[in-house]
Amino acid sequence: MRTQLAGEEVEFRPDGTLLWPSESTLFVADIHLGKGASFRSQGLPVPPGSTLATLEKLSMSLESGVQRLIILGDLWHARQGKTAEAVEQFLSWRSRVSVEILLVEGNHDRKSGQLPVGSDIQTVPDGAAVGPFRLHHEPEPMDEGHVLAGHLHPGYGLDGRGRQSITVPCFWITPDVTVLPSFGTFTGCSRIRPGESDRVIVTTGTECREVPISRLTESSI
């Protein structure tokens, strides 16, 4: 789904990424590599495979001529999740991906320690400018530029008959900030409270669709 954002044409994609076509740049948030391994280290019966599945999903996202990947925080989930297997899978993936990667460190990144040697990723500070955009992990408006962020894992609630309800990932666009949905395959989402001047674009994984403002006003919780 293509639209204008901060004067630039961008594409909100069903996989939860945001493409800036004129700059061959892809934005993604909250990948959370090693989350399953981190849970298993605490004795929780979480099946393996989420890190590899997330990396395979990211490879497919980069297949459309992307030259630069910007991660808006939380590449890794926790220090305990950086197992030898997870690090090996990540480094193997990185060796096959010939794109520039920038990372705005998120709260999980700061707690998980340094990036594995050989990651070939440039870390940039909160508020770094890329064209008209400002890069953040947590969605904090700035005096200049439109902020792109993650952290919240935004989701929109769809309510059906018989009190049935489902929360689907979404892009949450306010006048000053756009929050991307979480990308990792082992991450959830939390319902947001959009304002009347906001836009919400839900994604099912196969398509993106903007929810009308009238519906947001009636159905937001």
Question: CB of 15 within 8 A of CB of 57?
Answer: yes
Enumerate the β-bridge partners of residue 200: 172
Flag the least confident range among 26-40, 80-94, 204-218.
204-218
User: 146-168: buried (b, 16+ CB within 10 Å) or exposed (e) per residue?
Assistant: bbbbbbbbbbbbeeeeeeeeebb
Predicted pLDDT at 79: 84
Question: CB of 173 within 8 A of CB of 198?
Answer: yes
Beta-strand pair 128-130/68-71 = unpaired
> Tell me, what CATH number does 213's domain have?
3.60.21
- Distance (Å, rounded) from C-alpha 182 to C-alpha 33? 12
Structurally, the chain folds into a number of domains equal to: 1
When pLDDT is averaged across residues 191-213 and rounded to a whole number, the result is 89
- Mean pLDDT (the chain, rounded): 88
Judged by DSSP in three states, 177 sits in strand
pLDDT tens sequence across 68-117 = 999 999 999 888 878 899 999 999 999 999 999 999 999 989 998 999 99
Which domain, by its residues, includes 185?
2-219
